[in-house]
Structure 1
């Protein structure tokens, strides 16, 4: 699990992508991002997560987003990105789904 805190924007997107590549053990890993304390004021952070998700899927892995803020979920739904990346209401839900390899998309938490 990778916990993302604070403001995530375009300036941090490259650092986030590089960090993810460093901590990943295998391309097929199931990655869970705890977004409960993250703020997404720009699209760069969302774009970085989508790029990591696409790369993971190409290699048999999957990215799951846990407890994202409601405005983040709204942006994902408008862009129809929630169809490609599972979004879970809680960290526990995301971790359990990753462990089971199931692609479940329960409702997100409200802010």
Structure 2
């Protein structure tokens, strides 16, 4: 049994050193074979999906369109839930940006006396 503490040393057995940089380069050239997740697709499309729904396009139609054109199955209920989650993420991000800005402003406005 190989001693895990030896790392690559246990696998060398006369084959020479392993070129880690060449392995990294090769791995970076691999192409993804799985489809993107639904949430990843919606993150990119959140704004337009919201716009279309706001003007009266039902979530069922949006889900059907996305399913047809992405090869990823979208269902109306799941689409609504994911859109709500993405809106909440955006809201938290925006609130965090305001809090960070206020915190940064307060720390620079107040002189420090050490």
The TM-score bracket by the shorter chain reads: under 0.3
Structure (1 or 2) with the greater helix fraction = 2
Structure 2 length-normalised TM: 0.25
> Could you say which structure has the larger radius of gyration?
2
Structure 1 length-normalised TM: 0.26
Structure with greater contact order relative to length (CA < 8 Å, sep ≥ 6):
1
